[in-house]
Amino acid sequence: MAAASPVQAAAATVSPVPACPASPDTITAEPSASPLPLADPAEPSAQDVIAWYDAHARDLPWRRPGTTPWEVLVSEVMSQQTPVARVVPAWQEWMRRWPGPAELSQAPTAEVLRVWGRLGYPRRALRLIECARSVVEQHDGVLPDDLDALLALPGVGEYTAGAVLAFAHGRRALVLDTNVRRVLARAVGGQALPAPSLNRAERERALHLLPDDDATAAHWSVSVMELGALVCTAREPDCDACPWRSDCAWLAAGRPADVHAGRRRSQAWHGTDRQARGLVMARLREAADGQPVDAGELVACAARAGLRSSGGAPDPDQPVRALSTLLVDGLITTDDDGASYRLP
């Protein structure tokens, strides 16, 4: 038996790289001893933010009439940790090729990963394939509209399930993404940014503000999300353009600094394993007809990730580590004991 390659040996001892950091579906809930109080008894008006949305909302393809619940789910998964401008063309190409769970469930994995392209965190693409297969096998190819059934699907957490119920079915459901959390932290909580992790009290406050009837609640959810994306942004909020400026607790307090700044972790890119893995995946997507690429060439690609995120000399083990974690994650495979690799 041939000796294991350095990549295979490393793969046997490493843990998979996380699919993506702190997406809305993977936020760890922090316990809270008591509910977060409203910073001001005057709650922001639901009608004000809905009217703003109706006048200023972006024309995103998955918001148009006739969009299916499955198409909404795919858009939400793609949009996690990824700019919308990058998601739109990928989503449109994805829907052209695989308009529903049945088509995606039979798609070659390598082709799916190529279309996923530069969206980042490609394990999301693998989870979508698994989700599609579960929908076909367990729900006759129709995405369920029940919260528990949605949560039982691979890759679907509380945020994604809530988004499908609200945006595809017009239901009252909690939809707490980064944008919504930031808007509510400022407008109601008087804080520059929410805590790094979602806590129970924050959820309870959001539920308290969510309108009671289904249609208004769904409209409110997408409106607040859009407000966070376009106006109440993380770094340069345009308070003069905000429909809630007269009731915003953060603005009334003089826009105080982020009290949680010391607890936040920055998401570096240059010189990290994420960049090295991305360089490998980019080279494999370029390979014609799924042809394998020599391991040495892939190691050289990964080595271009440059300096480590902490600064200093390049990490000599990073290229092999990048390949080994991709192998563990099921994003690449080998047919010749590590001499070359290809998309699965």
Which residues belong to the active site?
A: 76
Q: Which run of H or E residues covers position 119? A: none
Considering only CA atoms, which of 152, 160, 80, 179 is closest in space to residue 121? 80
Dihedral Cα 275, 156, 216, 255, nearest 10 deg: -40
Structure tokens at 336: 């010749």
Structure tokens at 271: 């010189």
The answer to whether 241 and 235 have CB atoms below 8 angstroms apart is: no
Bridge partners of 199?
30
138 Cβ contact list (under 8 Å, min separation 6)? none
C-alpha to C-alpha distance for 75 and 90, rounded to whole angstroms:
10
Most distant CA atoms of the chain, gap in Å: 73
The answer to whether 219 and 50 have CB atoms below 8 angstroms apart is: yes
